[in-house]
């Protein structure tokens, strides 16, 4: 057992600030520990009372003189740091700091919190909180919280950034009968954070599904690593609230403008294999289903109903949600034809029709689940005069256990007529709802997890050896030494070339002769532009010449561009004239990178050219750990993909080259964290190869 | 009272097929009528028994010899037509035909159903059904169904195409306490259909909201007319299941390919002002809210919470759903600053924080509702140790009645700790949920209705007098006489010109001289194309010449195009050579029309050019009744609008001209129902004016 695991499996718990006064937090925690069924030692710490809640109390943690796994701090905030010191000296492994008044109240509290963490570090203690409700584990069992009740025993770990929400969910779960393995409120997460609790729950054999309510993430890369590992074993479902302010900031670049405020979390969650819940209802519907249902092998759903309307409603949900209506095998159809009355519909959805007794449900459901073309089923029931609701419930539970690999949900629409059946189904682990749609939404979530679980197996970062780091470093050093953060266009092209990212040739000429030489090297026609960070509207002042077809035109252009620029902007710093080869027009895409403060660089791909932000057609992936499969997926998600594939009979573009360019941009941004923004827009994609036309690279100073 | 209203307010009801045998439908209907509290006369009809369920029975409807408003038919299907005849002779006004075995069983049943309708027409009787559950009205009251129970009295009219769903919802509503004014199962809708029942419910003073479950619509235009009228008075909420097959069919045109399978219903519902529910839960959540809450005046929502997490969750839902977080007035902020503790957040969402007692909710909620910048509020509660849940519930109910114009929803997250408060809120007409999101979704639906209600006031069809119907008719006659259904390009241009729809000039030349004359009339450069319905790939065979700049080039082109075409396709029917003026390139949009079998012609607008289907950027409106405001809205919904407005500093295009062109296309398609498809793609939009480049018009033969 790792040290962290002992937080949830303590053998001894001390409560500092334990109290005999009902209503005090230190009283509630002692009572909760006592009544939780905890098998280890409980040490109330109280400087005055020799006994708390009938247990021997100690004046100080130093007086216990036995190993202490967990100390719960319910002391006034101003004594919390000295108390933590004492805990350290007493050999406490973990502190659960319920005490509030830290970071959440401002500067002074923040400093106090830093001191708390410092002293914990010094003694190698870990901290939950401060400003939290505490933690409980129903299998250990122990309850180191001040909540009114203990959670029902179950297999869901619930981890929440909001303590009040914990209390609310706990109360709600007692009424609805939802059970939990672990219930964690981590408060200010001064030390242990969401990643640690995901790791703990992933290693907990009693936890089948991990649910989180999060408002932010402390350490993006570690969160992703831990969540990916967890996802390989069990679903991680997160309700993330609040929109990230980070996205909006980066909007100075094309790529930045393509990213929405939620793009970073969406991208990170995808990489992490996290199943994202849109609402609290969905979070707990899914969590509950994962504790009782197997993961479906595919997306093909069978629907069994005794009424047409709900069957159509379910079919609509299946198709809208990306699942498929199962197509029954010949065998199944032949069997159903025999077994069902002629009026019944034996195609999916199977309509056993209004005069059906329970046996028709039994026949249809078993036939569907036996069919190899079926991955999951949902059973719909309307309370007709003849249907034996309770028996249908039994039939479903039996069929579930006969086909243990296929999840089944149910919707019994009705009230008093169906309630016994609904209760029986829920008690026997069949997720059952009042209407057809939630049962389908649950299956959609489960199928999505199956995909995510497979996707997180994919881990080989796409890396190229033929890149020239030193050259790039030298260019960046020069740029920074020059007091700039934006690379000149020819510099950006040099960087791209060093990483074999295809770019239209571009050189900075400082004389007529150089310009002429560069142009003949790269080949005509060329475009020439004044190279100056101080001149914005280059075309307007005569600082741009396009379509230059000969050495002579190039020489003349050099002179006139320099003259025009000096006249228009006498004080501008001029680096020379950029000579760029004019490339044949291709299909326009964008490749770019923006940086998220939590998750680091994200590469982007989408439709490019001047309409890039109009279409808003882009997909994102984390640069770090980017795999070939991810690159292929991100391209396939865009509308640009349709063009690359050869739209309306056009010749397809060189998609492997596009993939490679994205991966190389990702590697460049991984290797050089000082790149703060990168845009290649447009990239011309051709049937063979591609060419980055306009490359912008910005560094953090 | 209209004759139709007497269906729901009968003074006398006969039950034909009334029976003393429990379990028979004819028994259930008599018992239901008896126990419903119906104040009028009940006439059981039974050929053998002189008394049914303790009421005097009559051998035949002919024997009653008193006015009969409604006859309920529970007779065997084979005698239904003669029984209907008797009803007619007896002066029955309405028949509710519960009997099944008609259209739904095939051809024979369909014929029987036609005969039933025929005899009803003959006697001026209206029919509900056949193959239905019947109808009830809780205010009349009467219950002419064979359901086990009567609905609770309330203000929701529920109208369903599925009888089994009716039974299920009825049973469910009894348990959840949802009340109904009318409960209608219309079965095969042989006569009365959804439109009739919407009309009845719209006129019913006891109905505050009309809810429908529909699988299809019989008469599109009448449905729209009736639903629009109803929407002016009360919300019409529809759950429409099943996808329309109509959309897919029309995909041969560009416009058709832009339309999804659900576009026609989406477009029709928008025109009708129908609020569309995505799920059954949403249908009834909204219905219930409309019976107790006022319609909000705007979209600005105040959130009051005692815990941060749920407040953020609610804010997310508000912003994602198109509502706005209210910004409090200076007054309100000053007041809250005084009244709330310093730790509380007085900006929206107002966080009264975890130590709040009920009085802090009272202060915050009243301050928010009093603020003129607030249109609605939602109150969130987590059961902390100190909060008086029941008193918060009372505070909300009081505040609701003090501010009768502002809807309020609530989310009390919890179980036993909140249940009394939740029940109090629900009993006192505050929609209350377990989690924050549904309360916001309810407000979203209510705000949407406020918009729809305003939109249906808009009714002035945009019509132009300066069109030449006769010319268009002549062209169509000629085309059809020629055995074609597709207009030649110059013909289509002529049609457009007759309706003043801007089109690039195009003429059909049958000789070198004509070609030369046309070209100089329209101005150079021109493009020339072989005009033949039999030649598909005109460019490949040398049948197209572009960029012709002089009379000489035009003469030469005529000859070579004709020669090339005759060589490549000796048997093709050739009409001549089309001469079209080459227009300067503008921003490309598409204007088109597709026809829906239920709702008629729909005009479309979107991004045009060759990428039209790639972008899938299009909006649709019904051509019939199209208003100026609708045209403006449909343009504003598209991405093309951003380009028209002047993207990235470009000069804006002539948007009024685009609007007018759409309206003229709509009028053309209204005036000539024989147009089955129309595409103008691309349309070049310019800063001044526009030009339709490629016009395709197809007629139904």
CATH number for the domain that contains residue A148: 3.40.50.720
Interface contact B251, partner A, CB < 8 A: no
- Nearest partner of B201 among B277, B98, B291, judged by Cα: B291
Domain residues for the domain of B223 are 4-242
Interface contact B650, partner A, CB < 8 A: no
Interface contact B537, partner A, CB < 8 A: no
User: Is B256 contained in some domain?
Assistant: no
Q: Are residues B378 and B515 in the same domain?
A: no
pLDDT bin (cut points 50, 70, 90) of residue A688 is very high
Interface contact B151, partner A, CB < 8 A: no
Interface contact B432, partner A, CB < 8 A: no
State the best of A415, A537, A612, A615 to mutate against chain B, taking most chain B CBs within 10 Å.
A415
Q: Which residue of A has its CA nearest to B643?
A: A614
B356-391 tens-digit pLDDT: 999 999 999 999 999 999 999 999 999 988 899 999
Contact B148 A385 (CB under 8 A): yes
What's the whole-number mean pLDDT along residues B163-176?
A: 91
Q: Of all residues in chain B, what percent carry a pLDDT higher than 70?
A: 98
- N-term to C-term CA, chain B: 46
User: Is A519 contained in some domain?
Assistant: yes
State the best of A22, A241, A389 to mutate against chain B, taking most chain B CBs within 10 Å.
A241
What's the whole-number mean pLDDT along residues A456-485?
A: 95
- The helix-helix angle for A389-402 and A419-427 (nearest 10°) equals 20
Q: For residue B231, with 0-12 CB atoms within 10 Å meaning exposed, 13-18 middle and 19 or more buried, which class applies?
A: buried
| Shortest Cα–Cα distance, A499 to chain B (Å) | 32
User: Is B330 contained in some domain?
Assistant: yes
Q: Are residues B591 and B606 in the same domain?
A: yes
- Residue B277 with chain A: CB contacts under 8 Å: none
Find the radius of gyration of the CA atoms of chain B: 32
CB-based contacts of A182, cutoff 8 Å, min separation 6: A8, A135, A136, A137, A138, A157, A158, A159, A197, A200, A201, A204, A207
Residue with tokens 């028996």: A391
For residues B678-692, one letter each, b for 16 or more C-beta atoms within 10 angstroms of the residue's C-beta and e for the rest, the string is: bbbbbbbbbeeebbb
Task: Round the average pLDDT of chain A to a whole number and report it.
Answer: 93
d(CA B674, CA B593): 12
Enumerate residues 67 to 126 of chain A having a beta carbon within 8 A of any beta carbon in chain B: 105
Q: Are residues A214 and A327 in the same domain?
A: no
Contact B164 A438 (CB under 8 A): no
3 state SS for B618-677: EEEEECCCCEHHHHHHHHHCCCHHHHHCCHHHCCCCCHHHHHHHHHHHHHHHHHCCCEEE
Q: Are residues B555 and B574 in the same domain?
A: yes
User: Is A352 contained in some domain?
Assistant: yes
Out of B581, B596, B626, pick the residue that ends a domain. B581
Interface contact A185, partner B, CB < 8 A: no
* Residue A6 DSSP one-character state: G
Do the beta carbons of residue B596 and residue B602 sit within 8 Å? yes
State the best of A25, A146, A162, A164 to mutate against chain B, taking most chain B CBs within 10 Å.
A164
Q: Are residues B216 and B337 in the same domain?
A: no
- Residue A173 with chain B: CB contacts under 8 Å: 415
Q: What is the pLDDT of residue A611?
A: 73
Q: Are residues B323 and B400 in the same domain?
A: yes
pLDDT bin (cut points 50, 70, 90) of residue A248 is very low
Lowest mean pLDDT: which of A235-244, A381-390, B601-610? A235-244
Contact B241 A435 (CB under 8 A): no
Q: What is the pLDDT of residue A92?
A: 97
User: Is A465 contained in some domain?
Assistant: no
- As a dihedral over the C-alpha atoms of residue B447, residue B449, residue B451, residue B452, rounded to 10 degrees, the angle is 170
B188-226 tens-digit pLDDT: 999 999 999 999 999 999 999 999 999 999 999 999 999
The answer, yes or no, to whether residue A247 has pLDDT greater than 70, is no
User: Is B216 contained in some domain?
Assistant: yes
CB-based contacts of B554, cutoff 8 Å, min separation 6: B512, B515, B516, B519, B526, B528, B548, B579
B263-299 tens-digit pLDDT: 899 999 999 999 999 999 999 999 999 999 999 999 9
| Shortest Cα–Cα distance, A122 to chain B (Å) | 32
| Shortest Cα–Cα distance, B413 to chain A (Å) | 5
Lowest mean pLDDT: which of A196-210, A251-265, B606-620? A251-265
Question: SS3 for B338?
Answer: helix
Interface contact A540, partner B, CB < 8 A: no
Residue with tokens 């691309």: B682
Q: What is the pLDDT of residue A246?
A: 37
- Nearest partner of A621 among A259, A251, A244, judged by Cα: A259
Q: Are residues A536 and A603 in the same domain?
A: no
Out of A423, A455, A487, pick the residue that ends a domain. A455
Q: Which residue of A has its CA nearest to B147?
A: A385
Interface contact B638, partner A, CB < 8 A: no
* Residue A417 DSSP one-character state: T
Q: Which residue of A has its CA nearest to B648?
A: A610
Contact B175 A419 (CB under 8 A): yes
> How far is the CA of A511 from the CAs of A546, A561, A579, in angstroms?
18, 11, 11
Interface contact B614, partner A, CB < 8 A: yes
d(CA A64, CA A58): 7
Contact B309 A241 (CB under 8 A): yes
* Residue A546 DSSP one-character state: E
Interface contact A386, partner B, CB < 8 A: no
Lowest mean pLDDT: which of A535-539, B241-245, B404-408? B241-245
Contact B241 A167 (CB under 8 A): no
Interface contact A609, partner B, CB < 8 A: no
| Shortest Cα–Cα distance, A310 to chain B (Å) | 7
B217-250 tens-digit pLDDT: 999 999 999 999 999 999 999 999 886 443 334 4
Contact B164 A308 (CB under 8 A): yes
| Residue from the list B161, B315, B415 with its beta carbon closest to the beta carbon of A309 | B161
- What CATH code is carried by the domain that includes residue A631? 3.30.470.20
Q: Are residues B12 and B153 in the same domain?
A: yes
Q: How many CB pairs under 8 A join A and B?
A: 183
- What CATH code is carried by the domain that includes residue A566? 3.30.1490.20
Do the beta carbons of residue A475 and residue A495 sit within 8 Å? yes
Sign of the C-alpha dihedral, residues A42, A46, A47, A48? negative
What's the whole-number mean pLDDT along residues B428-454?
A: 96
| Residue from the list A163, A312, A647 with its beta carbon closest to the beta carbon of B215 | A312
Interface contact A592, partner B, CB < 8 A: no
Q: What is the pLDDT of residue A3?
A: 78
Q: Is A492 left (phi over 0), alpha (psi -120 to 50) or beta?
A: alpha
d(CA B494, CA A368): 60
Q: Are residues A678 and A622 in the same domain?
A: yes
Interface contact A419, partner B, CB < 8 A: yes
Furthest-apart CA atoms within chain B: distance in Å: 101
| Residue from the list A175, A279, A306 with its beta carbon closest to the beta carbon of B416 | A175
Name residue B589's beta-bridge partners.
Answer: B607, B683
- The DSSP secondary structure of B427-460, one letter per residue, reads HTT--EESSHHHHHHHHHHHHHHHHHHHHTT---
Do the beta carbons of residue A579 and residue A519 sit within 8 Å? yes
Q: What is the pLDDT of residue B474?
A: 97
What H or E segment, with its residue span, contains residue B690?
strand B690-692
Name the range with the highest mean pLDDT among A163-167, A691-695, B614-618. Answer: A691-695
- Residue A307 with chain B: CB contacts under 8 Å: 162-165, 168
Q: Are residues A330 and A348 in the same domain?
A: yes
- Residue B414 with chain A: CB contacts under 8 Å: 167-168, 171-172, 175
Q: Which residue of A has its CA nearest to B148?
A: A385
- Residue A312 with chain B: CB contacts under 8 Å: 215, 241-242
- Nearest partner of B59 among B72, B75, B43, B47, judged by Cα: B47
Interface contact A307, partner B, CB < 8 A: yes
Q: Which residue has the higher pLDDT, A225 or A612?
A: A225
- The helix-helix angle for B628-636 and B655-671 (nearest 10°) equals 120
- The DSSP secondary structure of A208-223, one letter per residue, reads SEEEEEES--S-HHHH
Q: Are residues A509 and A451 in the same domain?
A: no
Do the beta carbons of residue A343 and residue A334 sit within 8 Å? no
The answer, yes or no, to whether residue B261 has pLDDT greater than 90, is no
Q: How many domains does chain B have?
A: 4
Do the beta carbons of residue A190 and residue A117 sit within 8 Å? yes
User: Is B657 contained in some domain?
Assistant: yes
Enumerate residues 10 to 39 of chain A having a beta carbon within 8 A of any beta carbon in chain B: 23
State the best of A168, A257, A432 to mutate against chain B, taking most chain B CBs within 10 Å.
A168
Contact A310 B168 (CB under 8 A): yes
Q: Are residues A98 and A224 in the same domain?
A: yes
- Nearest partner of A158 among A215, A237, A98, judged by Cα: A237
Out of B564, B581, B598, pick the residue that ends a domain. B581
User: Is B603 contained in some domain?
Assistant: yes
Interface contact A316, partner B, CB < 8 A: yes
Interface contact A650, partner B, CB < 8 A: no
Do the beta carbons of residue B504 and residue B580 sit within 8 Å? yes
Q: What is the pLDDT of residue B243?
A: 63
pLDDT bin (cut points 50, 70, 90) of residue A208 is very high
| Residue from the list B165, B315, B319 with its beta carbon closest to the beta carbon of A309 | B165
């Amino acid at each position: 057992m790792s040290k962290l695991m002992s937080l949830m499996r303590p053998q001894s718990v001390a409560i500092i600030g334990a109290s005999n006064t009902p209503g005090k937090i230190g009283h509630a925690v002692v009572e909760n520990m006592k009544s939780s069924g905890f098998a280890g030692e409980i040490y109330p710490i109280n400087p005055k009372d020799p006994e708390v809640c009938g247990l021997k109390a100690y004046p100080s943690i130093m007086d216990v003189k036995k190993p202490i796994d967990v100390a719960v701090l319910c002391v006034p905030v101003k004594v919390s740091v000295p108390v933590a010191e004492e805990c350290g000296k007493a050999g406490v492994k973990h502190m659960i700091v319920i005490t509030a008044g830290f970071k959440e109240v401002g500067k002074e509290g923040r400093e106090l919190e830093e001191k708390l963490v410092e002293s914990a570090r010094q003694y190698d203690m870990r901290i939950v909180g401060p400003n939290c409700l505490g933690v409980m584990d129903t299998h250990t069992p122990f309850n180191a919280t001040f909540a009114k009740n203990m959670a029902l025993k179950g297999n869901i770990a619930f981890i929440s950034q909001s303590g009040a929400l914990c209390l609310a969910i706990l109360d709600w779960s007692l009424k609805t009968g939802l059970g939990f393995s672990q219930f964690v409120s981590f408060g200010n997460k001064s030390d242990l954070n969401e990643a640690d609790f995901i790791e703990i729950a992933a290693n907990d054999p009693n936890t089948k599904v991990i649910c989180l309510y999060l408002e932010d993430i402390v350490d993006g890369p570690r969160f992703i690593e831990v969540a990916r590992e967890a996802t390989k074993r069990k679903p991680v479902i997160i309700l993330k609230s609040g929109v990230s302010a980070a996205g909006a900031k980066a909007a100075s670049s094309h790529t930045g403008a393509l990213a929405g405020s939620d793009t970073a979390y969406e991208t990170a969650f995808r990489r992490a294999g996290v199943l994202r819940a849109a609402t609290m209802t969905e979070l707990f519907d899914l969590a509950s289903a994962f504790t009782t249902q197997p993961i479906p092998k595919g997306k093909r759903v069978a629907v069994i109903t005794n009424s047409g309307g709900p069957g159509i409603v379910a079919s609509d949900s299946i198709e809208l949600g990306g699942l498929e209506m199962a197509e029954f095998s010949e065998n199944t159809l032949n069997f159903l034809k025999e077994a069902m009355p002629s009026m019944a519909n034996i195609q999916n959805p199977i309509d056993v029709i209004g005069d059906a007794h329970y046996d028709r449900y039994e026949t249809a459901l078993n036939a569907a689940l036996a069919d190899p073309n079926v991955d999951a089923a949902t059973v719909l029931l309307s309370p007709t005069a003849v249907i034996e609701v309770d028996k249908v419930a039994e039939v479903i539970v039996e069929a579930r256990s006969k086909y243990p690999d296929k999840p089944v949900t149910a919707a019994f629409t009705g009230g008093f007529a169906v309630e016994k059946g609904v209760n029986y189904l829920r008690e026997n682990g069949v997720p059952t709802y009042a209407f057809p749609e939630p049962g389908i939404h649950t299956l959609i979530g489960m199928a999505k997890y199956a995909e995510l679980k497979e996707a997180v197996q994919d881990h080989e970062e796409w890396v190229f050896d033929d890149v020239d780091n030193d050259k790039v470093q030298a260019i960046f050093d020069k740029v920074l030494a020059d007091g700039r953060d934006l690379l000149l266009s020819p510099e950006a092209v040099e960087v791209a070339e060093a990483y074999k990212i295809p770019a239209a040739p571009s050189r900075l000429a400082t004389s007529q002769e150089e310009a002429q030489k560069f142009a003949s090297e790269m080949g005509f026609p060329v475009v020439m532009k004044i190279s100056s960070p101080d001149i914005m509207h280059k075309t307007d002042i005569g600082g741009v010449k396009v379509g230059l077809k000969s050495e002579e035109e190039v020489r003349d252009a050099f002179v006139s561009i320099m003259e025009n620029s000096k006249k228009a902007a006498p004080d501008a710093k001029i680096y020379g004239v950029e000579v760029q080869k004019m490339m044949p027009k291709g299909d326009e895409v964008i490749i770019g990178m923006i940086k998220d403060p939590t998750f680091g660089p994200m590469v982007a791909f989408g439709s490019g050219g001047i309409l890039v932000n109009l279409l808003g057609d882009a997909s994102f992936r984390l640069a770090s750990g980017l795999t070939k499969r991810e690159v292929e997926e991100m391209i396939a998600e865009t509308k640009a993909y349709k063009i690359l594939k050869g739209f309306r009979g056009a010749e397809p573009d060189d998609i492997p080259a596009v993939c490679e360019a994205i991966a190389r941009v990702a590697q460049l941004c991984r290797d050089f964290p000082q790149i703060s923004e990168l845009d290649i827009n447009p990239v011309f994609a051709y049937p063979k190869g591609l060419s980055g036309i306009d490359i912008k690279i910005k560094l953090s100073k």
